[in-house]
Structure formats: structure tokens, C-alpha cells
């Protein structure tokens, strides 16, 4: 698709966010976490306007570019005209998180097979892997209320999530919130791995659970493992990986 560049029409800060968010969409597709066109990743644009970037509804994640991302307000109305449609219903969950969490720049939501499977398990996330300890350190649950398009669900979702950065949407999927696109992506990588490991382990014998005291100290372990950088520690290598495959996301 020939999509006119918006690079000269937006601020440098917004353009960099567009490039990072488009890269995130491509990486989600690359790792097999997309659900055709039916999930979203949103990012808050710096500034007092409370504007957000979201995917053009109907494009596959591996088609999304920095310029095709749509700028919307808190009600998902377009701020910059675009030939592509947006999905206001799909923005309900994202807008709920952004409204309650000023510390969050990026919200990433998936419907992966492993994520939905674990979200349907009464036990939820089990402390059975190193990956799970990072999730359990900041985890919340929200019960299923049907397809999330009703405004009245927002207060309940916000209350359930609180200050957590990992959210299991029961019978629905997974959600991560990050202070950057890189943080949200790394969190989802860990979340998805946790669910895949749990399902694989449950197919075997009796499970060995991790001592709860270890889970309590995991925040410091994550800080040490990433040199205090969080998602920014791995993001450059992910961008290099993506650039070797296709650099068009940055157009």
C-alpha cells in the first residue's frame, strides 16, 4: 500500500512513538500473537491533549506503518484525517486503562491460544516458572462481561486492574501496560511465555510450585536482569531483528 508519510506533519516525539508502535505491531505479528485484525495496541502521545495512536481497523498487523497509525482522542474520534476506519469498540478497554493510569504510555492486548486458555483456568497464573514470577509480581484479573464495547464496564476494569501491569481478562485474553512501547512488549513476551509454559507443564506430571518469598523479591531481580532499563534493554535488538526482515514499518 502507498501511504503518504506523516513524518513532516507531526512532532519528532510523535513520529518516534509512531515508529515504535508500528514496530510493536509487526513484532506481535512476527511472534504469532495477532488475531487477524481483532486486537489492538494503543499508545498515548506525549502532551496535554490526551491523544492516542491506534491501528487502522482492517489492516493486518504486518501491514501497519508509522504513517498508517491513526491519532484519536479519548472517545476514539480521529484527530488527523485518515482513509482507514477505526474501531471505537476495540478502544474501550484501552481507553479505560489510559484514563486511570497516567504512568502508562502503551497498552497491549492479545487473544492468543495460550493466553485465552489460561484465562479460562480457575487457577489463573501458577507460580511454576521463572517467567511466571515476573508476572505474579504485578498481576490482576478482570472477569468476563461479554464483548468489551460497553462504557459501563470501564470502572470495574479500572478497579480490578489497579496499579498492576499484567491483566488476565478472564475467558478473553491477556493485557499488559507499560511506561513505554518497549516495556509493554517485553511484558507481553513474558506473559505469553508464562502461559505457554503453564499449559505444557500441565500436560505432564505433578507440578512443583515456586516459594512465595521468591515471588516477593522478583521486582529487584528484573531490575538487575535488564540493568534497570526494562524493555529498553531488549528493544534495540528487536528493532535490528525487524529491520533485517522488513523496514517498511518505519515509513
pLDDT at residue 248 in the model = 96
DSSP 227: T
pLDDT at residue 25 in the model = 98
Q: What is the mean pLDDT of each run of 10 residues along the chain (251 residues)?
A: 90 97 98 95 93 95 97 92 86 94 97 98 97 95 91 95 97 97 97 98 94 80 65 94 97 96
DSSP string over 119-183 = HTSTT-S-S-SHHHHHHHTTEEEE---SSS--GGGHHHHHHHHTT-SEEEETTTEEEEEESSHHH
pLDDT at residue 87 in the model = 87
Amino acid at each position: 500500500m502507498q501511504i503518504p508519510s506523516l513524518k513532516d506533519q507531526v512532532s519528532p516525539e510523535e513520529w518516534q512513538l509512531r515508529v515504535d508502535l508500528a514496530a510493536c505491531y509487526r513484532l506481535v505479528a512476527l511472534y504469532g500473537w495477532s488475531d487477524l485484525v481483532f486486537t489492538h495496541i494503543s499508545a498515548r502521545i506525549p502532551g496535554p491533549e490526551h491523544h492516542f495512536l491506534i491501528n487502522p481497523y482492517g489492516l493486518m498487523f504486518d501491514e501497519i506503518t508509522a504513517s498508517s497509525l491513526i491519532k484519536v482522542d479519548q472517545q476514539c474520534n480521529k484527530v488527523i484525517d485518515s482513509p482507514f476506519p477505526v474501531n471505537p469498540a476495540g478502544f474501550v478497554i484501552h481507553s479505560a486503562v489510559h484514563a486511570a493510569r497516567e504512568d502508562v504510555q502503551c497498552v497491549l492486548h492479545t487473544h492468543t491460544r495460550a493466553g485465552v486458555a489460561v484465562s479460562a483456568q480457575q487457577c489463573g497464573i501458577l507460580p511454576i516458572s521463572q517467567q511466571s514470577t515476573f508476572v505474579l509480581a504485578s498481576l490482576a484479573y478482570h472477569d468476563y462481561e461479554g464483548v468489551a464495547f460497553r462504557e459501563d464496564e470501564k470502572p470495574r476494569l479500572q478497579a480490578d486492574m489497579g496499579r498492576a501491569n499484567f491483566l488476565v481478562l478472564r475467558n478473553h485474553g491477556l493485557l499488559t501496560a507499560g511506561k513505554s512501547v518497549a516495556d509493554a512488549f517485553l511484558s507481553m513476551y513474558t506473559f505469553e511465555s508464562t502461559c505457554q509454559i503453564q499449559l505444557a507443564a500441565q500436560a505432564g506430571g505433578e507440578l512443583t510450585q515456586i516459594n512465595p518469598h521468591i515471588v516477593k523479591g522478583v521486582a529487584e531481580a528484573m531490575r538487575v536482569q535488564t540493568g534497570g532499563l526494562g524493555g529498553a534493554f531488549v528493544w534495540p535488538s528487536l528493532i535490528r531483528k525487524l529491520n533485517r526482515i522488513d523496514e517498511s514499518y518505519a515509513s
